[in-house]
Structure 1
């Protein structure tokens, strides 16, 4: 049975929650392997809409065990709030497992994130201000706080002291803020221990044993390929690896266990935050995509920047992730356009470039080269098979598939759980 990785193939917000939910009834474990509550998934079940930020989408699927892996950074207060919200709506959250090696987003991480971003001014990255980056920085600097530390007060206190030694110097002498007291932080963190304890597990062992028993495990990435800390549009990226390799390190599963890597592609392109975006629209078309697509960040509440489909980015995502399939989402949003532009290459200093530029400078100066595909006006939200789509919609999907370098195995034609066309099974 397969181990699958499902990830965003653009700048995030591609509709990964819908894709994960589609598979959720067929898999035994759904694993978040990186990021924190800076990610956001919207899942529509019947007439109910669920906005998930930290929890794996599989938490909505009965019989599926949701897992927060060691590569995730966890804000306990956000986690409890999300669990409470689901419990209040009758969702069983008791099967959740959390790696004891996952790092905790502390109050001082959030403070440092906000004051640093404010200090950068026009050079700001566009972070969510939720402490994600500083927590990963602490992890790399070996002064991070892990969930398992909550169960040894002496170790926890020593680690908080070590982390605040430098941070308080920064806060007081550079940012003119008050120093943060060690005792207050320790007290707050310890207050989370009892409620977290039933969920804490050796998830590396659990997941590897599950795969040895032929269970189906789905690894769910947050954000998207172009936000990867190594392979994204640096420095306008997240602080972790949403690409396929991150599933191995963020969950403790070897690459030989992964049998399929599915990229989620929106039928157009969006991004949140700062950074280059070659196909971005500043006209009525951009406003229409934003309005019809409901393009507002699930976690941030910020309007998403909108543009036409970028095949250069899709090809890049195929390459760096080793994608085997695509799930194309929000095709229905494009209904009504007479012609639909698709970016097939870039023009950089008079040169045509068909692959993502290696140089940050070149990418900042990239201008889209468009091909124009005929649109359609028919309502496609009731389509149940590929043949139900209008011919121009079929041709659009086929063109994107050819340009992107991997087969499209499913198509989202509406927000609902059942508004999906499956061309090839993922399992």
Structure 2
């Protein structure tokens, strides 16, 4: 039995979708559960040449033997939820995808309020998906729950009961977070943050799993840093430089251009500390060191790449066990066995 959590180490966009796809396809957990805020966070998945952008359904959907669950702490937009059920029909997600019956519902009014709020839309850089107003109504105890929402009938479950029963039976559970540490309402670059905490502790609470049941916490970092929207960014570089280095990116949900910066060792150290990281996944190494594109063996990496990995380990005190060398799931160096 294992219960592992994966969360973002920066401001989102770290490549969590690719890591989740790889880990779930390789390890084949019995349950894959999504934690996090809600549909304001997009995960990109590239699998066998096909690309998918997801906002609600767990990114580990590619492993068709797993139950796909959405924890009670996650806001559910029924429109997005049902769209993605149809969108991923190829992977038989209907019949194995369920939201916790206590999930709060994002109603059309929440999205309208989000977009109409000048402070959220212009100063903070909200995605406009209704999550802030949805969480406000949850805190005020007036939000609708999935068990009371007509279109969610037949698509709900008691997620904590199901997950903890699975663990009692010796099954494996994988919890995937969304967004990243820097957007945490508590620990991020406030006020330029999201509407709740995004760390591993809250990811466990979102699913209804106690801290004593967690085995591993994997924090994902990109080999350079990006963020969408406003807020502090100490290592930011000019867009012209980002373009010249081939690091131009756009957000999965909003399509907004991402700001780009160098890897921040101090920020990574703090992120690992507060998340209680036991492992690090490092993605997009090939974007910084093109010569290592699609390399699958650590021994074949250049000395420069290895020194970068070692510097991260020295700064954080956490081993780098997954290294992404390309966009596809198979472009991965897996060093987890070396921890055994």
Superposition deviation, residue 248 in structure 1: 2.5
Q: Residue by residue, what CA displacement relative to the aligned partner does 1:220-241 show, whole Å, maximum 9, x if unpaired?
A: 1110001011111111111122
Query: Residue in 1 aligned with 2:328?
Result: 416
TM normalised by structure 2 equals: 0.95
2:215 equivalent to 1:259: yes
Superposition deviation, residue 404 in structure 1: 2.4
One of 56, 61, 84 as aligned partner of 1:54: 56
Q: Alignment partner of 1:73: what SS? A: coil
The answer on whether the counterparts of 2:69 and 2:97 sit within 8 Å (CA) in structure 1 is: yes
Q: Residue by residue, what CA displacement relative to the aligned partner does 1:214-260 show, whole Å, maximum 9, x if unpaired?
A: 11111111100010111111111111221011123211111100011
Ranges in structure 2 where 5+ consecutive residues have no aligned partner: none
Query: Residue in 2 aligned with 1:85?
Result: 87
More RCO (CA 8 Å, sep 6+): 2
Residue correspondence of structure 1 range 345-360 to structure 2 within 5 A: none
Residue correspondence of structure 1 range 3-402 to structure 2 within 5 A: 3-25=3-25, 26=27, 27-87=29-89, 90-94=90-94, 95-116=96-117, 118=118, 124-150=123-149, 190=150, 192=151, 196-289=152-245, 292-293=246-247, 295-335=249-289, 379-402=291-314
- Residues 287/207 of structure 1: CA separation in 2 closer, same or farther (3 Å cut): same
- Residues 70/316 of structure 1: CA separation in 2 closer, same or farther (3 Å cut): same
Superposition deviation, residue 293 in structure 1: 4.3
Q: Alignment partner of 2:154: what SS? A: helix
CA distance in 1, matches of 2:24, 2:174: 8
CA distance in 1, matches of 2:332, 2:124: 35
Q: Residue by residue, what CA displacement relative to the aligned partner does 1:294-346 show, whole Å, maximum 9, x if unpaired?
A: 5211111111100000011100111101100000000000126xxxxxxxxxx
Q: Alignment partner of 2:175: what SS? A: strand
CA distance in 1, matches of 2:315, 2:85: 41
CA distance in 2, matches of 1:66, 1:240: 22
CA distance in 2, matches of 1:60, 1:35: 22
The answer on whether the counterparts of 2:58 and 2:70 sit within 8 Å (CA) in structure 1 is: yes
CA distance in 2, matches of 1:31, 1:121: 30
Q: Residue by residue, what CA displacement relative to the aligned partner does 1:62-98 show, whole Å, maximum 9, x if unpaired?
A: 10111111011011011111221111xx221121121
- Residues 404/396 of structure 1: CA separation in 2 closer, same or farther (3 Å cut): same
Superposition deviation, residue 120 in structure 1: 6.2
CA distance in 1, matches of 2:171, 2:120: 47
TM normalised by structure 1 equals: 0.76
Q: Alignment partner of 2:256: what SS? A: coil
CA distance in 1, matches of 2:86, 2:273: 40
Greater Cα shift, 18-27 or 204-213 = 18-27
- Residues 275/102 of structure 1: CA separation in 2 closer, same or farther (3 Å cut): same
Superposition deviation, residue 403 in structure 1: 1.5
Ranges of 4+ aligned residues in structure 1 off by more than 4 Å:
119-122
Query: Residue in 2 aligned with 1:370?
Result: none
In angstroms, what is the RMSD of aligned CA positions? 1.6
CA distance in 1, matches of 2:120, 2:18: 35
